Chain A
Amino acid sequence: MIKRASVLLLLLGLGAVFASLLLDYVPSTELSLTATYYAERGAQETGATNLITAILVTYRGLDTLGEVTVLFLAAAIVGLVLSRGRQAGETGDAGGATAAPPAGELLSTGKDLLVPLILLLGVYVIANGHLTPGGGFQGGAILASAILLILLTDPMRRFSHRLIAALESVSGLVFVGMGVLGIFLAGGFLDNRILPLGTLGELFSAGAIPVIYAFVGLKVGAEFSSMLVNLSETRESRS
């Protein structure tokens, strides 16, 4: 009874806080100081038509590096936890892995049709990150969802862990390397002006942004794929 009353009280308190926030909300009619700077100078300084990418990769590039690091840590911890479980499972019932039932006609045909298209969309989103909405993170997640579709169709399929790990570490190193190059050749860490800016709106423009984002995309895709592959493989050896 007391528990229920305290939950109700907590909900009411939260409701009051959110209601006061909502009632006080006034949409701002003009951009803030930082937003004005980005809107006025962003396109000229970075050469990217998609301002969000320009902010993510250059102005706030360090934050992107941090996000990718967090994702890397998450993938590494998933791998660590699951590898321990996998060893225990293998010693428990060695050779007891049963073959998975074959995927249905619909799923396997759909996979054959969709996986190349999904991969193409992922590459497109990454390559056009500086021109249209999207970029490394989104494209990387799309690439990983193609891997997910393959795993759903054929759970016994094995992907090379070494290849995924190599892809992940090489793209991480290149990302940081491009950032350090920015210190020496341009204005600072992760400055994109180490390559010529080109004309605004073309595919090969915006300096180093497409290069950096391509490697961010590969890194994110490899990290998500390693998580999915680890989880899928552990399930197989267990059941």
Chain B
Amino acid sequence: MTNLTLAMSLLLALAMVAAAIVAVQRKSLPVAILAAGLVSLLASVQFLLLAAPDVAMTEAAIGSGLTTFLFFFVLARVRGGQDD
């Protein structure tokens, strides 16, 4: 692994941790869902850097694409029930 990719993956890892903290800490659910999707998106880039393109494609399509919108569909369905 060259220095450039090492720096990139370290940066990505930091961004992932930051996005995960946002996802946990934020009170607003849409923001939290988007932050969780961002974690998946950055993870897929990370997989690509680690030379696993197959996993990266799965993560990008399922983890950050479908799951995010699945959460939004569920959010639209449960909204109006409770506050939290």
Contact = CB atoms under 8 A, between A and B. Distances in A.
Nearest to A129: B54
A156 to B, nearest CB: 14
B66 A231 contact: no
A142 B61 contact: yes
Interface residues of A, number: 24
Interface in B45-81: 53-54, 56-58, 61-62, 65-66, 69-70, 73-74, 76-77
A148 B58 CA distance: 16
Interface string A124-150: 010000000111011001101100100
A64 interface: no
B76 A138 contact: no
Interface footprint category on B: 10 to 19
A227 B70 contact: yes
- The binding surface of chain B is classed by DSSP as helix
A169 interface: no
Contact of B58 (A141, A144, A152, A239): A141
A52 B69 CA distance: 28
A231 B70 contact: yes
A232 interface: yes
Given A228-B73, A231-B74, A141 B66 contact: yes
A50 B54 CA distance: 10
A231 B58 contact: no
B77 A238 contact: yes
B18 to A, nearest CB: 18
A234 interface: yes
Contacts of B77: 231, 234-235, 238
Contacts of B74: 231
A133 to B, nearest CB: 4
Contacts of B57: 125, 133-134, 138
Given A227-B70, A228-B66, A135 B54 contact: yes
Interface of A: 50, 52-53, 125, 133-135, 137-138, 141-142, 144-145, 148, 152, 224, 227-228, 231-232, 234-235, 238-239
